Amino acid sequence: MKQKKNIYKNILLFLFIILFSSVFYFQYAKSDNVDKLPVVIQELVNPPFVPTHNIIAKGGPKLIKVRMKITEKVIEIDKEGTKFRVFAFNDSVPGPIIVAHVGDYIELTLVNPKKSNFPHDIDFHASTGALGGGALTHVSPGEAVVLRWKATKPGVFVYHCAPGGMMVPWHVVKGMNGAVMVLPRDGLKDRNGNPITYDKAYYIGEQDFYIPKDSNGNYKEFTQPGDGFSEVLEVMKTLTPTHVVFNGAVGALEGENALTSKVGETVMFIHAQSNRDTRPHLIGGHGDYVWPNGSFNDPPRTNLETWFVPGGAAAAMIYKFRQPGTYVYLNHNLIEAFILGAKAEVKVKGKWNDDLMKQVMEPTQIVD
């Protein structure tokens, strides 16, 4: 009997050693392996532009290092000169888009300068655990933090500041949001497994602002940290934004700042909205391929005129331009587009194709 007990003890001890070794391996050996991965320093760029990247991954997983600095500043958000104090990642509303492939690790250094007035953090919808990283990235003014997470889900996703409680929506509607694109390692595919490619990509961040008015109907200006918090909160509670804009301001992507393309070029449009539902539409074109809920695991929908993006999500659309001219890319809530500001222009160069469209008769005076 005593001999059997010793055998059982030895078996239990053996199993414990295996279990401990397994835990040690997965907790530490994997971390060591990540440190041995090739390092890529990704240069983040201001929207609507997207970092240089390969559609199909080259080689194995990478450790992608990015750095973002938090800014608290006053910007002009419409053509009437309305000013609003925003919070921004990398001095941009929206924050820059990060691009990776499935299996890559993203290592973010998040810096909150001493001159800031509020603590901030970041919640990556593309990540797994710890409130999307929000629980591990809380930085007070004068602090920096480094977070590393693995890109496991292919698609386009939002990220935003989420410091807790009512501060979450307040920080988001003050501009603290952005996007991440995680591409499949073998590239994008249609429902039949055929490759989908694009020549360039644009990133459009849709932002809703809530600005109180004075007794004369003019927008109030809050330039000092924390000013107008309660008044802005009351406007937020109405769920009715005063401005809905692309890339931080009315007209930010129009005129001289319009997006550009040429006939025959295939363009990806990444559209992110961290707070409200939206309905992107390209006037004069279509969504050749659309991932309306952002997941590249799902086959794209085709030939859509308008697609729905729920608040707190991003979507991707690919279109090949077939005619020259000025296209309008907008939120097809037309009130929000033409009155509140949620629209952009795409100026396309090339030769007109009469077979696709032709003016048969110019406007002519009607003879009764």
pLDDT at residue 12 in the model: 42
DSSP class of residue 253 equals T
Domain boundary among 157, 185, 213: 185
- Claim to verify: residue 168 and residue 280 sit in the same structural domain: no
If one counts the domains in the chain, the total is: 2
Q: Can you list the alpha helix ranges (DSSP code H) found in 190-295?
A: 229-237
What is the per-residue pLDDT across 346-359, written as a single tens digit (0 to 9) for each? Answer: 999 999 999 999 99
Asked whether residue 301 falls in the same domain as residue 247, the answer is yes
Boundary-marking domain end, from 131, 159, 185: 185
Which stretches does DSSP call E strand in 77-104? 83-89, 97-101
Final residue of a structural domain among 141, 157, 185: 185
Cα(333)–Cα(341) distance, integer angstroms: 11
- Give the C-alpha separation, 90 to 96, whole Å: 7
Say whether 160 is catalytic.
Answer: yes
Q: If you average pLDDT over residues 272-285, what whole number do you get? A: 98
Query: Do both 175 and 228 map to the same domain?
Result: no
Give the amino acid at 107.
E
In percent, the amount of the chain with pLDDT more than 70 equals 91
The span from the CA of 131 to the CA of 136, in Å, is 8
Buried b (16+ CB within 10 A) or exposed e, 164-197: eeebbbbbbbbbbbbbbbbbbbeebeeeeeeebe
Q: Is 8's pLDDT higher than 50?
A: no
Q: Report the alpha-carbon distance of residue 9 to residue 156 in Å, rounded.
A: 52
Residue in 71, 101, 161, 336 annotated catalytic? 161
Q: Is 101 among the catalytic positions?
A: no
Check residue 368 and give its pLDDT: 79
- Please indicate, yes or no, if residue 322 is contained in any of the structural domains: yes
Instruction: Decide if 102 is inside a domain.
Output: yes
Pair (181, 228) in one structural domain? no
Exactly one of 298, 305, 326, 357 is catalytic; name it.
305
> Among 116, 185, 103, 159, which Cα is nearest to 274's?
159
Q: Return the pLDDT at 28.
A: 34
Residues 130 and 54 in one domain: yes
Q: Looking at 125, 138, 243, 271, which residue is catalytic?
A: 125
Question: Are 82 and 124 contained in the same domain?
Answer: yes
What's residue 14's pLDDT? 38
Residue 198 reports pLDDT greater than 60:
yes
Residue 67: domain span:
39-185
Question: Considering the domain boundaries, does residue 7 fall inside one?
Answer: no
**Residue 23 confidence (pLDDT):** 35
Determine the pLDDT at residue 30: 53
The per-residue pLDDT for range 304-323, each reduced to its tens digit, is: 999 999 999 999 999 999 99
Contact 356, 322 (CB under 8 A): yes
Residue 304 lies in a domain: yes
Choose, from 176, 181, 236, 268, the residue flagged as catalytic: 176
pTM higher than the cut 0.75: yes
pLDDT tens readout for residues 81-124: 999 999 999 999 999 999 999 999 999 999 999 999 999 999 99
Q: What is the pLDDT of residues 146-177, one digit of tens each?
A: 999 999 999 999 999 999 999 999 999 999 99
Residue 59: other Cβ atoms inside 10 A: 8
Find the length of the chain.
Answer: 368
Instruction: For residues 227 and 338, state if they share a domain.
Output: yes
Q: How confident is the model at residue 293 (pLDDT cuts 50, 70, 90)?
A: very high
Residue 209 lies in a domain: yes
- Are 172 and 240 found together in one domain? no
Q: Average the pLDDT over each of 226-230, 236-240, 314-318 and give the range with the smallest value.
A: 226-230
Question: Does the annotation count 123 as an active-site position?
Answer: yes
pLDDT for 66: 98
Query: 332 an active-site residue?
Result: yes
Please check whether residues 268 and 335 belong to one and the same domain: yes
- Both 320 and 207 in one domain: the answer is yes
Question: Mind listing the pLDDT tens digit for each residue in 260-274?
Answer: 999 999 999 999 999
Q: Which CATH number is 285's domain given?
A: 2.60.40.420
* 120 catalytic per annotation: yes
Per-residue DSSP letter, 213: B
The predicted pLDDT at position 32 comes to 56
pLDDT digit string, tens, across residues 29-60 = 355 589 899 999 999 999 999 999 999 999 99
43 catalytically annotated: no
Closest-CA residue to 267 (of 247, 282, 251, 249)? 282
Average pLDDT over residues 219-233: 87
| CA-to-CA separations, 73 to 117, 175, 236, in angstroms, rounded | 11, 11, 20
Amino acid at 125: H
Q: How confident is the model at residue 11 (pLDDT cuts 50, 70, 90)?
A: very low
Q: Is the pLDDT of residue 303 over 70?
A: yes
Residue 71 annotated among the catalytic residues of the structure: no
Amino acid at 302: T
- Mean of the pLDDT values across residues 12-39? 52
The answer to whether the peptide bond before residue 299 is cis (omega within 30 degrees of 0) is no
